Amino acid sequence: MQKSWSSSASPKDRMSIPVFRPSIKRREMDSVLSCMVSDNIGPGQYSEQLSELLNRVCDTRVSLLLREYERALELCFRCLELPEGSEVILSPLVPGTYLHALKLCGLVPVFVDVDENLAVPDLESIEGKINEKTGAVVLAGVFGYQWDLADWEHPELSLIEDISHSYGSIRDGLPAGCRGDIVLMRLEPHDLITTGGGAVLLARGKKYADTLSSLVKNYDSTIVLSDMNAAFGLSQIREFDKHLGVRNELYQLFLSALRKGKHGFFSDFEQDCTVRSSFPVLVKGNRQEIQNYARKKGVDTTLAFQGCCLEEELGDMIVCPVAESLILNCLLFPLYPSMGKANSDIVARVLSTLP
């Protein structure tokens, strides 16, 4: 029999708890306010500070802050200087923006199905797709996951590391962003770190750093992120470590609640530190009914992989049954440090009573 519960305020009397919300408070906004009242809100000191900080965190040479994620992907693939028709191996669950950028650069996507317990391809499956046409591999961790590359035996291939959903995670002592030749991080409002929109592109070795620095000279300066946006991201990164404990506490609370029902969850990762960017639920049953139930209780949800490559125009050509199942059955519930006890209790109760 389905358990029931109620709160003192009806769902109509309170705002729904959003799935994503930037974790930033008023006292952390000094740099943003300072930038707003200055004479220059274009690229400047805050952009330089954020670039330098990200270079230190990821141990890279060049950091380029851009207004658009798709532009960052385009520059990323052009930076590789691969022959037209070269293949790039990636997960079908990465954003569909990857398809647009690959097509623009004359490169061919090769998709690898994901592990049902991790939502990312394992290295063995990736290696099975490598051939003489392969030029690069994209490692885009979700929900904080990172790969163990100790046994990676393909130094001839370029590694692209997308840390949009794993920034702050640590595996084998290495933070996310310290493995790829090229590192990407989307900075949209629903991401772990946001500048209000845009992305950062980082290059590790001298070859890639020099190429990226040369490429960007061919573009108008309007592709670069403004100082005000950079100040927003800078304040979040400086406070990021303070929120890790809260994220983990919320994750454990929600996982305990979810286990009271029939729905599934991904395996925990064997890492030094996993940053919980959201709370994914593998739903069993009618997904729409579950979303409607959560909404009536005041909790928003969203499909975890909405807008991914598998949903784009090549969907019928991609044979990845596990990824296809996750697209249909994986929902994200809210999880962020600014949620507060009252809202986190509501989310936990919803998770424990899902139909």
Least trusted range by pLDDT, from 25-34, 239-248, 323-332: 25-34
Q: What is the pLDDT of residues 107-129, one digit of tens each?
A: 999 999 999 999 999 999 999 99
pLDDT above 60 for 28: no
pLDDT band at 2 (very low <50, low <70, confident <90, very high): very low
Mean pLDDT of 41-62: 87
* Residue 42 confidence (pLDDT): 60
* Residue 36 confidence (pLDDT): 59
Measured CA to CA, the distance from residue 220 to residue 214 in angstroms comes to 13
CB 142 within 8 A of CB 119: yes
pLDDT band at 209 (very low <50, low <70, confident <90, very high): very high
One-character DSSP codes across 83-131: PTT-EEEE-TTSBTHHHHHHHHTT-EEEE-PPPTTTSS--HHHHHTT--
* Residue 4 confidence (pLDDT): 47
pLDDT band at 75 (very low <50, low <70, confident <90, very high): very high
Q: What is the mean pLDDT of the chain?
A: 89
Q: Of 282, 230, 308, nearest to 49 (Cα)?
A: 230
| Residues of the chain above pLDDT 70, percent | 89
pLDDT band at 39 (very low <50, low <70, confident <90, very high): low
CB 112 within 8 A of CB 121: yes
- What are residue 185's DSSP bridge partners? 200
- For residue 244 the two structure tokens come to 């890790």
pLDDT above 60 for 202: yes
DSSP letter at 225?
Answer: P
Measured CA to CA, the distance from residue 153 to residue 159 in angstroms comes to 12
Q: Of 158, 154, 201, 156, nearest to 177 (Cα)?
A: 201
Domain ranges of the chain: 26-236, 241-352
| Residues of the chain above pLDDT 90, percent | 71
Mean pLDDT of 318-346: 94
| Bigger pLDDT: 41 vs 285 | 285
**Placement of tokens 């990312």 in the chain:** 120
> CA separation (Å) from 39 to 43, 61, 102, 217?
12, 30, 39, 25
- For residue 312 the two structure tokens come to 């784009």
Q: What class does CATH assign to 26-236?
A: alpha beta
Is pTM beyond 0.85? Reply is yes
Domain covering 241-352, topology:
Aspartate Aminotransferase, domain 1 (3.90.1150)
* Residue 34 confidence (pLDDT): 64
Least trusted range by pLDDT, from 137-141, 206-210, 234-238: 234-238
Q: What is the pLDDT of residues 230-288, one digit of tens each?
A: 888 888 888 888 888 899 999 999 999 999 999 999 988 889 999 998 999 999 999 99
Mean pLDDT of 74-90: 97
pLDDT band at 150 (very low <50, low <70, confident <90, very high): confident
Same fold, 26-236 and 241-352: no
**263 φ, ψ to 5°?**
-85, 160
Q: Is residue 186 helix, strand or coil? A: strand
pLDDT band at 226 (very low <50, low <70, confident <90, very high): confident
**97 φ, ψ to 5°?**
-55, -30
| Bigger pLDDT: 336 vs 5 | 336
